[in-house]
Amino acid sequence: MKPRPRFTLAATTLDAPNAHELAQFYQGLLGWPTRKEEPGWVEIAPPDGTAGLSFQTEPLFTRPRWPTSSSEQQMMTHLDIEVNDLSSAVEHALALGATVAGFQPQDDVRVLFDPAGHPFCLFVRTDPAAQWVARGETAEDVPAPAADRGAESRVYVRTLPVIGSRA
């Protein structure tokens, strides 16, 4: 049997009216250096060389709508960004040009929009065992948390739940 080829996620790419402006926002947010820059394209990545973010200029870019609405451009994906202090992280993001979403589906997560309108979430990771104990449940079967790699910001990609339009 032929061996499976190696696949490595290199980056998540965000379209924007101006790739360079959006890359500057995320560089300020995450503190990541530029890996590659050319007209209409920028790549940033953490210093350890793992998957980063790419930005592509799209002249026909339409800001996504979140929560979703059937008549507008829907969000396709968003970034989850782990932080160590939620209120300070929100303050920092706002100073860079982010805006807070009007609808916040969770108390321990803040949904914001980057300058191009992409939603992203800031959150503080909590120990799953502590959450179980707080609910009065046993934590015996909760897996141990992954070793901390020392990164100040980690980015995760997921899809937000689809929520009907809100007035």
Structural domain count of the chain: 1
Q: What is the CATH number of the domain that holds 94?
A: 3.10.180.10
Is residue 24 in some structural domain?
A: yes
pLDDT of residue 106: 85
Is residue 83 in some structural domain?
A: yes
Question: With contact defined as beta carbons under 8 Å apart, do 121 and 105 qualify?
Answer: no
Predicted structure pTM score: 0.72
Among all chains, which residue has been given the structure tokens 């979703």?
68
- The amino acid occupying position 18 is N
Q: What string of pLDDT tens digits covers the 167 residues of the chain?
A: 999 999 999 999 999 999 999 999 999 999 999 999 999 999 999 999 999 999 999 999 988 876 665 665 455 678 999 999 999 999 999 999 999 999 898 888 999 999 999 999 999 988 665 554 555 555 454 444 444 433 444 454 444 444 443 33
Residues 6+ apart with CB under 8 A from 62: 73
Give the angle 10-120-48 at the CA atoms, nearest 5°: 35
- Residue 112 structural domain: 11-158
Is residue 5 in some structural domain?
A: no
pLDDT of residue 68: 61
pLDDT of residue 79: 92
Is residue 68 in some structural domain?
A: yes
Is residue 43 in some structural domain?
A: yes
Distance of CA 82 to the CA centre of its chain: 8
Q: Following CA atoms 108, 112, 114, 117 in sequence, which dihedral angle do they give, to the nearest 10 degrees?
A: 140
Is residue 165 in some structural domain?
A: no
Is residue 91 in some structural domain?
A: yes
